[in-house]
Amino acid sequence: MTTTPVLVLPDFSKTFVVETDASSVAIGAVLSQDGHPIAFFSKKMCNRMQNSSVYVREMFAITEAVKKWRQYLIGRHFHIFTDQKSLKSLLVQTIQTTEQQKWTSKLQGFSFDIFYKPGKTNLVADALSRKYTNLDQQALLLSVSSTIPAIIASLQQY
């Protein structure tokens, strides 16, 4: 992306695209049409979810994104992109847990196809899912970057 993305209004005559990703601590998603973002979503996961498998976290990301943008997606066919290949056949797989059954039941009223998109090309959702990682490092960087100018200013007085 070489220009700043501008949110566009949805065009209900076009197909919606939902791109999702899950990191070790959060989920991220973008709702778009024709490559233009309509909305962004990011949410930190609870500790129990953070300790779940990658498959479960990615499935959670899809469910939460569809739930978040339900008003745009209900009654329309849309596309979901994820970097978890095994989720391409989500609705025809054997569901392992009651929690996964609950999530798939929430998706039953929607019409969508799931496509695999490698993580390295799923940049926006990936970045949103990593928003909550390395908070200690970010705080340290902020602390150092705000302290250094004060030190330089005090040294310039001599």
Q: How confident is the model at residue 18 (pLDDT cuts 50, 70, 90)?
A: very high
Among 16-20, 39-43, 143-147, the minimum mean pLDDT is found in 143-147
Domain boundaries, the chain: 16-133
The DSSP secondary-structure symbol of 86 reads: G
pTM, to two decimals: 0.71
Mean pLDDT computed over 142-156: 48
What phi and psi values does residue 15 have, to the nearest 5 degrees?
-80, 135
pLDDT of residue 42: 87
Percent of the chain beyond pLDDT 70? Answer: 63
Q: How confident is the model at residue 50 (pLDDT cuts 50, 70, 90)?
A: confident
CB 55 within 8 A of CB 22: no
Domain covering 16-133: architecture = 2-Layer Sandwich (3.30)
Is the pLDDT score of 144 beyond 50?
no
pLDDT digits (tens, 9 = 90+) for 116-133: 877 665 655 556 655 555
pLDDT of residue 55: 82
Burial zone of 53 (CB within 10 Å; 0-12 exposed, 13-18 middle, 19+ buried): exposed
Q: What is the mean pLDDT of the chain?
A: 76
Highest averaged pLDDT of the listed ranges 30-34, 45-49, 97-101, 130-134: 30-34
